[in-house]
Chains A and B, each alone.
Chain A
Amino acid sequence: MASKSSKHQPADLANLSFEDALKRLNETVAKLETGKLTLSEATVLYEEGIKLAHVCTEKIAAAEMRITQIRTAYGEQMRMYEDDAAGDDLDDDDEDEA
């Protein structure tokens, strides 16, 4: 069963980005459904496809959003304000009620 491709594929597949893995999954499905394949070719593609589906699912399930902040004049001002007032509320900034 261990053909030369499936032997080192799992690691490769896990390293794909979500977008690439999803793209490859869709390609695999299309190849499987349109190509005239032998049973063993279809089986190899099927295995790869199922692995890709796992990779996609795991990537999106395990992801955690990252947040960074860039420096702006206003951001610096706010930091100084917060340092000075030590927790004093910014209630005059009531522009975001929606």
Chain B
Amino acid sequence: MTMNPPDLITILIVGGIGLVAIGAVGMAVSRHLLRLVLALALAEAGVNLLLVLAGYRWDAVAPILTGAAVTRPMVDPVPQALVLTAIVIGVGVQALAVALMIRVREAYGTLDIRELKTRVEQDICGAAGIAPPESANAPGGSQPYPVPVTTSRESA
């Protein structure tokens, strides 16, 4: 069974949008950092596919000038250059993410974002010398902290 080019384009566009959607949902529901990075990679792949399709023509040749006269129309090179750049940037950023994740895993022993969130919060509070929010030492009530101005004045 042969497929008409326009149908193929529709399939590719739907595929691109689908990849972006899968990536976006993955980023929304995943709890593991590696899954988040993979979801991001999927979404990026989808966008790159959409970008290539934005300038693609089925009856055209690759946009390479060789000096010889070009008889057929050429594919628009701008989206292809943009996609190449985006792919390179994406790879670099993902590599950086994974490298940082190794450090995080070594330091905290987990890559679960909820656990990490509390651990980092405790760490920040510890470094700042204040009690972490859920600890028994945290000040209660709606006031973020009771200001002991009057008592401290007495003690001074």
A and B bound?
no
Q: B residues engaging A (CB < 8 A)?
A: none
